[in-house]
Amino acid sequence: MPMNNFYEGNKKYYLLIGGIIIALIVILSAYIVVNRGLTTSRTDAVIPPTLTPTPTPKIYGASVQLKTEDGLLRQSAQNTLVVFVSVDSKGSEVVGYDLTFTYPQKNLKFVRAESQVTDFTIFPYAKDDMISLTGSKSLSSSKPIVFSGANIIKLTFQPLDGGNVTIELVDEYRKTKSQIVDPKSKSKFITPTSITVELY
């Protein structure tokens, strides 16, 4: 009898210990699951919503034509290449402009840019295959100026090699823009265009 009582007592003891262990495992598991859920929800709450920026549409308010001095698209590589730039500002008065051109360096060397409008001064900047021209109306000029398709710039290049060469006016290139500016400092893009000349 004493031995049976000993085993009965131990059995109850082991059952009690086992029950406590199982209960601890269940509580610990529940804690881990709940804690993970809270962490995830906290992390989600911290992330701010992202907005996709809407690109600003370009407003084109002028057109350009490029033409050679003699109007021909084929000329000797022994002679300088002269290109006239004419601008139509669509009736808008112009007090300034930026024009950006690209050209093939291996075929052409940029020589100079000359204003064909007496009231405007040109500030050229050439780097690699790009020419950036800034035109500014003289402060002493009081008359309104509207570009109506007449030549405003004369570009001169020295041919280095034969072949087809393309001189292109671009609307944007390397953080520069082609635009006209009115007296209220509002700017409008100039529609891109190009000219291709065969040098022989």
The answer to whether residue 52 scores a pLDDT higher than 70 is no
State the CB neighbour count (10 A cutoff) for residue 101: 24
pTM: 0.70
pLDDT for 189 beyond 80: yes
- Taking only the tens place, the pLDDT of each residue in 15-41 is 777 778 887 887 877 777 666 655 554
Predicted confidence (pLDDT) per residue in 102-135, tens digit: 999 999 999 999 999 999 999 999 999 999 999 9
pLDDT higher at 115 or 177: 115
Q: Are 167 and 198 in contact (CB under 8 A)?
A: no
pLDDT the model gives residue 24: 80
Lowest mean pLDDT among 58-62, 97-101, 122-126, 137-141: 58-62
pLDDT for the residue 21: 82
Least confident of 57-66, 96-105, 142-151: 57-66
Domain ranges of the chain: 1-50, 60-199
CATH class of 60-199: mainly beta
Q: What is the largest CA-CA distance in the chain?
A: 130
Q: pLDDT > 90: what percent of the chain?
A: 65
Torsion over CA: 108, 109, 111, 113 (sign)? positive
Q: Which two tokens stand for residue 41?
A: 């929800």
Q: What is the DSSP string of 74-122?
A: EE-TTS-EEEEEEEEEEEEE-SEEEEEEE--TTTEEEEEEEESSTTEEE
pLDDT band with cut points at 50, 70 and 90 for residue 10: low
